[in-house]
Structure 1
Amino acid sequence: MIYETTLITGCAGDIALALARIARDAGAVHRLIGCDIHADHAGPAFFDVCELVPRANDVAYLETLDRIVKTYRVDVIVPMSEAEITVLLAGGHLGAFAGVPVLTANRLAVETGLDKYATFNRLAAHKLGVPWTCIVGEAQPLALPCILKRRRGQGGKDLRLINTDEEVEIATRTRPGDLWQELLLPEDQEYTCGLYRSRTGETRTIVLRRRLQGGLTGAAVVVDSAPFSPLLHGIADALDLNGSINVQLRLTANGPKVFEINPRFSSTVGFRHRLGFHDFIWSLLDSRELAIGAYRAPSPGIRMYRCADEVIIG
């Protein structure tokens, strides 16, 4: 056991449920506390207790979180949503909250990943592969078709393909501050990459070629990470990484280009754990300054699929 009582936020979501399963199977924690903004979800089948919290942008959010930590004597917090991580970052609570550790990547990685324009600027400054990116209302797209996406928040939400000058004009009026971004092709060359670096500087990677299904990775296959290794290690260096992040990229005719970094555990965390990439457990161990053990990368060609599951609570 690594921690006595762990609080995982967003316990109605797929990532939190995956982490709860991982923690149980690994015997990493004794008691699991979850919290979310509603109570109609499968969380009680995976957590010992599920609490209600306001939305992260509510002034009562941190106060409620503090109450939960004290009531259940929580000794580590694992925030799931980017909205919650943003609030914790703004309040100076990224490393610790209410006297207990908050399990995230380091501040620079989080700040960069939460802002997709900052991601572009930092990686470009380190001469790492990125698509051209500019701010709606400050510049016109460099070419059409292109992608229109949010500057902050989950990249899949409100993402649109822009094909015409008329669509550019409408988006300029209605979505100032968002981003124009190069359309990366081919579409079937999209990869999601687990990137972990320990406090001692050891870097571990896993690369999955993925197929999206409803905004999530519905199917994936392990690929050889060697061709992507210089890029991923370069990102870890550019972010002074400590912890786990998820890098999304497409392999283009001009090499791999990163279009997004998720500064949190990924929706593929369950896939990756079963393949031996135990970034959640490594992060828990590393936060205790415990040895994280060896890592053997999975063999290329292994396939995985996301399947529906039924949970009965009665």
Structure 2
Amino acid sequence: MLLETVCGLAGSDDLIGRNASHLRQAILDRDTPYLFEHLVRSFSLQGVSDRAAWTYMENRDQPGWQDLHRATARPPACPKLRSYWTYHGCGYRKGNRTCAEPETLSKCSVPRHALRNGRLNQTTYSLFLFIRDVMGGDLVAWIDRSLNEASSGTVKHRTYRMQRALTEPLRNVYGVSDKLLNMTLADILLAAPVSKPLWLETGFSMIAIDTLVHNFLKRTGLTRRLGPEHTYGSACYSENGCADIIGRIARQIDARQFNPDYPRHFPRFVQHAIWRFCAQSELNVCNGNNIDDEFRCRNAYCALFRHCERVSLRGYLEAE
């Protein structure tokens, strides 16, 4: 099986709890400030390479929970900062120093943080206000409550309901995509202690679709065979989209063969293996740097070559 080969080549054998001791302790301690700061860092991994994003963050102080708590403790200069619900439409732009309330900009705390762009400043405040006002300031309790409610009822679609119980509300945080939500929540959920089985069960199935994974499924022919053709974006998470395709294939792959501590059905592991197989910083096999998207892949040394349909992303299928 094509994806089983990918898992053997690129699957991580320490995906559960990888570098997660601090996260696990934060979950046990219900340490919302630490978890908030972890989310902010993860949400910054957009728009540029991960390396560029991490380098920027390492060279500048990043806003913490207490920074935003102090900034919003008193009645704010900007009326949009009064609550999560009033914050909609902030519109801050770092380069132009503009926003939706320009008369209060000089006194506003949003621009004071040296983030990479204004969208990230907006995301940081939107997330803080969401946790404070919607979650009641307790991220762990909110996840516990959401998963408990979603897990009740029929067994059918139970895991899907639990995923949606977390991603649907958080999708309202400004600037957060499905990919970022699934990637970041999976890291947190898989770091949970065994005393939180619903966290682990949900984390096992959190699939993050980026352009590498989307294009891999198209190049190999899996999209054409198992789901409708679609462009990268929200359709990747719709019925028979990329996430659904990986979830269905993952049922046929026993992840325990790669690590006996893994669950048998581990869609997150399969998706992560695809990403590692493609990513330039990992195995660097199946990506636009190595394949001309106008033509079928010509890498005869690829382990998948004989089983891959080698669909051209933009051109036409060449004759054999």
Structure of larger gyration radius: 2
Same fold (TM over 0.5): no
Higher percent of residues as strand: 1
| TM-score using structure 2 length | 0.29
| TM-score using structure 1 length | 0.29
Higher percent of residues as helix: 2
